[in-house]
């Protein structure tokens, strides 16, 4: 009987099997329909082809069609690691296979919109499972700076496990205890999830400094554009704080691992920063996407496309301060309306 089931065999889902099996226990890695090659490789040799490591021997890989049987064995925890675009599919599969309450820990990042406002994904998952099955399950989340490859290599990683029921969150943490996985608890589920999603959004703007540097080149004394990037980074944290507070989270969460820490590591590398660089070069979003990142999922851009109109509506209604979110408005204009990305420094840091 598996103690932990991980739904989603991508890099982060698979990387979570490392802390999960540090205290040896059976873990089942269930792939989505897009993970067939990964499941086949792990089944044959334990090798995860995208992580470049062999997963522990106590990890069993199975296709998504086996989820019903796996969940029927009543695991202690389900880790949900599909992409944000796969959440609806995952809800369908979980609702069809869950017969007894199994706590869910989400590593999927993203937000949804409901009734003209923004909803965190754990709330959506929890509500839909109860609506479809009548089963109430706690849905928690992991936030903070965690690059999958580093976790898979057993590099020290500090994260936040968030849940409205701290006792359930503590139980989830106990299943993931490992000397390289430094998890802390918080009941600020909303704050952690807002930070986790919007860090991708704001990393686009921070990454634009790289493209701007390429356009302008190094100064005659060799100076780069770290000042510019740091200014945008700081403004991003200020606006993230506004969002967290307005959506019912705790502003201090932005100052910790879920906000500052996760934004920092996201700005170091990744698809959001690459998109930002292209915008900084002067490309429109549509051209950058179609010509340079057609096959890439850019989480921050997807968030803008999903929620840009909602953010603007919330500003118009006074639920968000329009004059206090110039960076947010600039990113929405660039992604949603294909306008040049303009960083309005005259409106920052007020």
Burial of 139 by CB count in 10 Å (0-12 exposed, 13-18 middle, 19+ buried)?
Answer: buried
d(CA 1, CA 72): 9
d(CA 159, CA 195): 13
Task: Tell me, yes or no, if 54 is annotated catalytic.
Answer: no
Q: Out of 44, 199, 329, 347, which one is annotated catalytic? A: 199
Report whether 242 contacts 226 (CB < 8 A). Answer: no
Cβ atoms within 10 Å, residue 53: 17
Question: Residue 27's beta-bridge partner residues?
Answer: 4, 59
Active centre residues (catalytic) = 199
């Amino acid at each position: 009987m598996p103690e932990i089931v991980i739904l989603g065999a991508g890099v982060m889902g698979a990387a979570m099997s490392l802390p999960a099996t540090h205290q040896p226990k059976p873990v089942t890695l269930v792939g989505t329909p897009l993970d067939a090659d990964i499941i086949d490789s792990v089944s044959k040799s334990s090798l995860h082809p995208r992580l470049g490591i062999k997963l522990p021997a106590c990890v069993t890989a199975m296709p998504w069609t086996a989820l019903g049987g796996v969940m029927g064995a009543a695991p202690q925890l389900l880790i949900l690691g599909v992409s944000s675009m796969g959440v609806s599919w995952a809800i369908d599969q979980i609702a069809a296979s869950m017969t007894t309450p199994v706590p869910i820990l989400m590593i999927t990042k993203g937000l949804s919109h409901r009734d003209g406002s923004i909803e965190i994904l754990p709330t959506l998952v929890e509500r839909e499972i109860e609506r479809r099955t009548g089963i109430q399950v706690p849905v928690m989340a992991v936030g903070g700076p965690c690059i999958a490859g580093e976790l898979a290599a057993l590099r020290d990683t500090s994260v936040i496990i968030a849940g409205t029921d701290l006792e359930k969150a503590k139980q989830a943490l106990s299943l993931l205890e490992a000397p390289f996985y430094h998890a802390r608890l918080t009941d600020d589920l909303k704050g952690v999830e807002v930070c986790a999603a919007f860090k991708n959004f704001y990393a686009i703007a921070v990454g634009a400094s790289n493209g701007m540097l390429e356009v302008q080149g190094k100064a005659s004394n060799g100076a780069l554009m770290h000042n510019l990037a740091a200014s945008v980074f700081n403004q991003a944290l200020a606006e993230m704080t506004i969002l967290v507070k307005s959506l019912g989270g705790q502003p201090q969460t932005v100052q910790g691992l879920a906000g500052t820490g996760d934004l920092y590591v996201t700005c170091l590398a990744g698809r959001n920063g690459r998109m930002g660089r292209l915008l900084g070069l002067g490309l429109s979003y549509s051209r950058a996407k179609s010509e340079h990142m057609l096959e890439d999922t850019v989480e921050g851009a997807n968030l803008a496309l999903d929620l840009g109109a909602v953010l603007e509506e919330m500003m118009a209604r006074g639920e968000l301060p329009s004059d206090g979110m110039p960076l947010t408005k600039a990113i929405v204009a660039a992604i949603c309306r294909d306008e040049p990305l303009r960083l309005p420094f005259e409106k920052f840091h007020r």
